[in-house]
A and B are shown apart, each in its own frame.
Chain A
Amino acid sequence: MSEYVIEMLNITKEFPGIKANDNITLQLKHGEVHALLGENGAGKSTLMSVLFGLYQPEAGVIKKDGKEVKINNPNDANALHIGMVHQHFKLVEIFTVLDNIILGAEPNKMGFLKKAEARKKVLELSEKYGLQVDPDAKIEDISVGMQQRVEILKMLYRDNEILIFDEPTAVLTPQEIDELMEIMRNFTKEGKSILFITHKLNEIMAVADRCTVLRKGKYMGTVDIKNTTKEELSRMMVGRDVKFEVDKEPQKLGDVVLDVQHVTVPSKLHSNNAVKDVSFQVRAGEIVCLAGIEGNGQTQFVYALTGLDKMSHGKITMLGHDITRAKIRERSKLGMSHIPEDRHKHGLVLDFTLEQNLVLQRYWQPEFQKYGFIKNAEVRKYAERLIRENDIRSGQGPITTVRSMSGGNQQKAIVAREIDKNPELLVAVQPTRGLDVGAIEGVHKQLVAQRDAGKAVLLVSLELEEVMSVPDRILVMYEGEIVGEFDPKKTTVQELGLYMAGAKNMYRDVEKKGGAEA
């Protein structure tokens, strides 16, 4: 038997205008965690699509256990026991966990489902690997972390031996990430092989045995994690040294830009309020970070702040104007920019071209239209400038359909668009989600440049590294309330963690919380 369970040798795959994979070799050993590292658009997804038979490479061969195989479609891949957890889960929202797991591999007798058998197998697997799920819960009702466990169980249910995780930690809380790492280690003990696609260096250092690095479609090499460092990996990936700290000028605080008073937002899911009596200010020349674990009211607060949703109580003032009930366009005209949390839902019109998306917030300005007619030449010129300045990579430049771009480049386009508006207040919600270290560095620089230019920035982040390095002030949100305010220079991750988990509250005694509310 070959040392390698899967080998992809000298794979080349071209698309119109771009060589997505140029002579790439990836060899996965039995029982190892192999990381696949690369910037956005480096060709990781393309390589995986080739492995799954979604694309046919122009050159190169794929071998399983040393024997050459031909993979024409995902069913072939499945037959070779290759399974994948996609970055965006492929689950049927209104089906139960069990139904989703067996979907496509339903055990049946003459066309009648044999669910009891399936349930037994799923429960056994879930027990064995510590993947707790409720087989009867509907997907739409369970957390993202739980959904991911369903995806993993899907692979195990099909007896997959080669497990591919595509940026699995992007949607998880720190605790869930730790759990996932543990689960991955268990899998390799069982002899399963894992391909771990990511651009988070810390995770690679923590869990991977070896790492293959791609850059702009080219193969940069494979390294043993034991013999390398974070710095070396990032240099291989980006092609230059990457700074992990953020340089900031001394702070020059200006006037109050944003004044939030007693904002309360009702929840769509339950009768409680999602945001409870939140008050704070953001001044010119500072970055304030709203930190917290996902689902503690940050999203609803940002919706109310940016006008996407209504609040039930409170008042928001921006630059002296009451914007509590202002329309989104009015807020935009006042100088508010918004990098949204969900780029596919809010940030982009995926079927528009890149240039159309880049003017999404400005197409109505005199610069881009006259008597209601869009000035196409101006739009093109503007888009070309943003693409150049922000290194937004795509197949066909301004006329690329955004749907066909990689997630990281989509995010870059949004960031470029929002910052180029030259806003007085920038509301950035997880602006680096799904970006690689090089791009993260770029976004952080842009945020700090805004601050240094005397603008106000409200950053909403789940990433502790970002929370500690970028802002001037940290506000921790827990269950819709602000429970603490910190100076990042004077606090620690551990202290923040206690507040984020609700174990501490600066403004009242946690033990008496129940009584205080009653």
Chain B
Amino acid sequence: MKKGLISILSSVISILIGLLFGLILLLIVNPAQAFPKFGEMLTAGFSSAPKLAKVLYQAAPLIMTGLAVAFAFKTGLFNIVASGQYTVGAFTALACAIIFQMPWWVCLIASMIAGAVWGFFPGLFKSLFNVNEVITSIMFNWIGMMAVNLLCMNLKNAAGLNVMLPTAWVSSPIKDRTAALSYANPNAMIPKMGLDKLFNSNFMNISIFIAIVVAVIMWVILNRTTFGYELKACGFNKNASIYAGINAKRNIVLSMVIAGALAGLGGGIYYLAGTAEYTIQKLLLPMGFNGISVALLATSNPIGTIFSALFISYIQVGGESLQPVFAKEMIDIIIAVIIYLSAFALLTKTILSKYIRLDKSNVNAEPASAAPVKPDVKPTLKESEGEKA
């Protein structure tokens, strides 16, 4: 309980520091507009149903990549290949949808398998040859992205048509992005179950619920099962886990495979929403790297991942409202600063637990003293929301 409180508190404090820095940046660039626009940014996500839908729509894949990083962290691995896993997952889902005309759930399973394969190799090299997973992961990020680009451009059917591209389906000059699911295979779109009507937004579907359910399952696996116990034992102390008869090599591979499946699923749910097409990339997709921030902000707790992904998605949607007063690059910098400082959650946690330990000698006193701080924080956010309204 005490530990949990410190974790939440440290994440919240980190977010506040990040927001403060964002505000300072805004003040430097355009003092007159800074406060109103900052308020707008903080409230945009809740300002209308479609905006909220967008927050949820972006949060779902972020939760998945965040989980992919957090899960591997728990096993002592740094899954920096989440971006590559996400990309191959996205491509596999789209390929199943467009080429093989599969229903959405088959496509999602395929995206998980593809992501898992992309986790398997770094895991295998790590466990068999002790190759640092960060190195193989970075390589696999690029291999994944380039391979996906290559396949997108060159998958031709018997008639010599590239079915992945819109040209095969409609008359379109676009050659650098995949065909839209709306005409290629509407069955592959993730069901909306009336949520789109409710939120009055095409972005809304059940993917956020899929992501939340998966996060809860991950929490249960890590905290309630023997498998999770083994994974964590390997992560904390590999030698001790070997001593206890745990197959550490197998667990390292499994952990990366599961992490890969999570990130792959993230790619699947984002691109099967039917609102975005995969575009030929020159850079690694940021979704995977934002997953690292999400995991750090959540201090690797799967449930925390849900909230930190929602927060980062919220800030991203809010950032859009800064246009056109602030340049797009400026917005990206501010979001980056906020996310960057939010990722200091672990540092804040260390400082916080030290402070609390030094200051309080009585066990019973701690929850009582820590508890009031939490409500303190929430009104601050709400107040600024109120400003705008």
Chain A residues with a Cβ under 8 A of chain B: 14-17, 56, 58, 306, 308, 327-329, 331-332, 338, 340, 345-352, 356, 360-361, 363-364, 369, 372-374, 376, 396
Contacts and interface: CB of A to CB of B under 8 A. Distances in A.
Interface in B212-264: 224-227, 229, 232-233, 236-237, 239-246
B171 interface: no
Nearest to B1: A399
Contacts of B366: 16
Contacts of B358: 56
Nearest to A331: B245
B172 interface: no
In the complex, the 9 A-B pairs of residues with the closest C-beta atoms, listed nearest first: A329-B245, A346-B243, A328-B245, A14-B361, A16-B363, A351-B236, A349-B237, A360-B244, A349-B236
B237 A372 contact: no
A373 B361 CA distance: 36
Contacts of B227: 372
A15 B361 contact: yes
Contacts of B226: 363-364, 369, 372-374
B382 interface: no
26 contacts: A14-B361, A15-B361, A17-B363, A56-B358, A58-B361, A306-B243, A308-B242, A308-B243, A328-B243, A328-B244, A338-B243, A340-B243, A348-B240, A350-B237, A351-B236, A351-B237, A352-B233, A360-B240, A361-B244, A363-B226, A363-B229, A364-B226, A372-B226, A372-B227, A373-B224, A374-B226
B360 interface: yes
A345 B236 CA distance: 11
Given A16-B361, A349-B237, 4 more contacts: A328-B242, A349-B232, A349-B236, A349-B241
Interface of B is mostly: helix
B107 to A, nearest CB: 29
Given A347-B240, A360-B240, A372 B225 contact: yes
B5 to A, nearest CB: 14
A108 to B, nearest CB: 30
A346 B248 CA distance: 13
Q: How large is the interface on B (under 10, 10 to 19, 20 to 34, 35 or more residues)?
A: 20 to 34
Contacts of B360: 16
A374 B229 contact: yes
Contacts of B361: 14-16, 58
Contacts, number: 73
B362 interface: yes
Determine which residue in B237, B240, B246, B361 has the highest number of CB atoms from chain A within 10 A of its CB, and name it. Answer: B240
A327 B236 CA distance: 22
Contacts of B241: 349
A360 B233 contact: yes
A15 B356 CA distance: 11
A349 B233 contact: yes
Contacts of A15: 361
Nearest to A365: B226
A306 B226 CA distance: 23
Contacts of B246: 329
Given A16-B360, A16-B363, A361-B244, A345 B239 contact: yes
Contacts of A340: 243
A507 to B, nearest CB: 33
A385 B29 CA distance: 64
A354 to B, nearest CB: 14
Given A56-B358, A360-B233, A346 B225 contact: no
Nearest to A369: B226
Contacts of A349: 232-233, 236-237, 240-241
Contact of B245 (A14, A332, A352, A369): A332
Interface in B335-365: 357-358, 360-363
Nearest to B243: A346
B223 to A, nearest CB: 9
Interface string B199-214: 0000000000000000
